[in-house]
Amino acid sequence: MGPMIDELAEKEKRERKPVEKEPKVEPRSESRKIEVAHHEPDAFAKKVKMKAEGICAWFGTKQALFDVNIDINEKAVTAIIGPSGCGKSTLIRCFNRMHETVPGSRFAGDIFLEDKSIFDPRMDPVAVRRRVGMVFQKPTPFPTLSIYDNVAIGLRLNGTRDKKTLDEVVEKSLRKAALWEEVKDSLQKAGAALSGGQQQRLCIARSLAVELEVLLMDEPCSALDPISTSKVEELIHELRQNYTIIIVTHNMQQAARVSQKTAFMLNGKLIEYDATEKVFTNPTNKLTEDYITGRFG
Ligand SMILES: Nc1ncnc2c1ncn2[C@@H]1O[C@H](COP(=O)(O)OP(=O)(O)OP(=O)(O)O)[C@@H](O)[C@H]1O
Ligand SMILES: [Mg+2]
């Protein structure tokens, strides 16, 4: 997936009406503890897939990130939580070099994908964005393209013309995105004809069709109903067998359900980063505790 797709998708997102945020998490009472479903004692034993070192990011003169250091484990789900404006989207947009596409933006620090800096002059930003794909808050299929073409677009832009190859990749990607059974008889219908939840899975299929390794998800469920949300959450589970996932969410129950590690951010700084269970049941930092118990944010 090239910058074209990302930029077009982003542009579409901007042009649409803003999506309402999920309701704020209410103060937690004893009877309403956040359940952590997928505790993994080996959350730290996994290989590091991406590593951010000393990231600072600016929009013009406004600094949005301050010296963020974070290791992202391979084949695991990392959740990023924190109040609105704390820099969650900016951080994940650094991970696939989308931050630098904003006019007037600046960046300092380094990010490694496996052992190579994604800012190395020999690294093509387009190739980085194929390996590190992004799914947005509002599903962004190309509304006039068919379901098939929405999935095939990345490959086509890379020059793949062979129909058999395209057919295979489209089916495989739709299967991986848990959408195949619902759309296999209507592949030529417009992407816009799908429900919001299906469109979100279509966008995931679009990312999976290229040689994706890391999937960045920026509030992927906040525009979805509860059933579509649980389908996407199930899908995240499946995908983490093979992919590295970073998910930004305002829904703390969701962070606890889907992730193995959680990062809490505040005012552009990474305040706490630990196993999800630890962050939600016994956070080290008072600020984290205040946030997850709903005292602010
Ligand atoms: N394109 C932009 N131009 C100028 N400032 C920006 C831009 N995008 C973000 N910012 C600023 O950078 C800071 C971090 O924004 P960011 O979008 O990363 O926050 P967030 O944690 O994702 O918030 P939300 O939960 O509301 O999505 C905010 O102060 C925001 O106003
Ligand atoms: Mg955001």
Buried/exposed code over 39-59 (b: 16+ C-beta within 10 A; e: otherwise): eeeebeebeebbbbeebbbbe
What H or E segment, with its residue span, contains residue 198? helix 196-208
**Choice between 39 and 266, residue whose per-residue pLDDT is larger:** 266
The residue range of the domain holding 121 is 3-292
217: in domain: yes
The CA distance from 120 to 128, in Å, is 11
Is pLDDT above 60 for 23?
A: no
Q: What is the pLDDT of residues 95-131, one digit of tens each?
A: 999 999 999 999 999 999 999 999 999 999 999 999 9
By the 8 A CB rule, do 135 and 203 touch?
A: yes
What H or E segment, with its residue span, contains residue 80? strand 77-81
Mention every residue, 6+ apart, whose C-beta is less than 8 A from residue 172.
none
**Three-state secondary structure call for residue 241:** coil
Looking at residue 79, its pLDDT comes to 98
Looking at residue 46, its pLDDT comes to 81
The rounded Å distance from CA 95 to ligand 2 centre is 14
Nearest to 150 by CA among 205, 96, 231: 205
The CA distance from 257 to 237, in Å, is 10
By the 8 A CB rule, do 105 and 97 touch?
A: no
The rounded Å distance from CA 2 to ligand 2 centre is 21
Q: What is the pLDDT of residues 235-250, one digit of tens each?
A: 999 999 999 999 999 9
Which residue minimizes the CA distance to atom 22 of ligand 1?
A: 89
pLDDT over 70 percentage in the chain: 84
The rounded Å distance from CA 217 to ligand 1 centre is 16
Query: Tokens at residue 77, please?
Result: 């789900």
Using 50, 70 and 90 to split pLDDT, how confident is the model at 21?
very low
Ligand 1 site residues (CB inside 6 A) read 59, 62, 64, 82, 84-90, 102
Q: What is the CATH number of the domain that holds 218?
A: 3.40.50.300
78: in domain: yes
Is pLDDT above 80 for 256?
A: yes
For residue 87, which atom of ligand 1 is closest to its CA? 18
Mention every residue, 6+ apart, whose C-beta is less than 8 A from residue 122.
none
The rounded Å distance from CA 129 to ligand 1 centre is 21
By the 8 A CB rule, do 18 and 81 touch?
A: no
The rounded Å distance from CA 172 to ligand 2 centre is 30
Is pLDDT above 50 for 25?
A: no
Is pLDDT above 70 for 38?
A: no
Is pLDDT above 80 for 297?
A: no
The rounded Å distance from CA 85 to ligand 1 centre is 5
Q: Based on the structure, what is the number of domains in the chain?
A: 1
Q: What is the pLDDT of residues 159-202, one digit of tens each?
A: 899 999 999 999 999 999 999 999 999 999 999 999 999 999 99
Which residue minimizes the CA distance to atom 4 of ligand 1?
A: 59
Looking at residue 6, its pLDDT comes to 54
Q: State which of 13, 20, 62 you would mutate to test the pocket of ligand 1, scoring each by most atoms of that ligand within 8 A of its C-beta.
A: 62
pTM score of the predicted model: 0.85
Q: State which of 10, 25, 59, 134 you would mutate to test the pocket of ligand 1, scoring each by most atoms of that ligand within 8 A of its C-beta.
A: 59
By the 8 A CB rule, do 247 and 220 touch?
A: yes
Which residue minimizes the CA distance to atom 12 of ligand 1?
A: 64
Mean pLDDT of 199-206: 94
Q: Which residue has the tokens 């759309």?
A: 183
Looking at residue 1, its pLDDT comes to 43
Looking at residue 138, its pLDDT comes to 86
- Comparing 21-30, 167-176, 250-259, the range with the smallest average pLDDT is 21-30
Is pLDDT above 60 for 210?
A: yes
297: in domain: no
93: in domain: yes
By the 8 A CB rule, do 6 and 134 touch?
A: yes
Using 50, 70 and 90 to split pLDDT, how confident is the model at 140?
confident
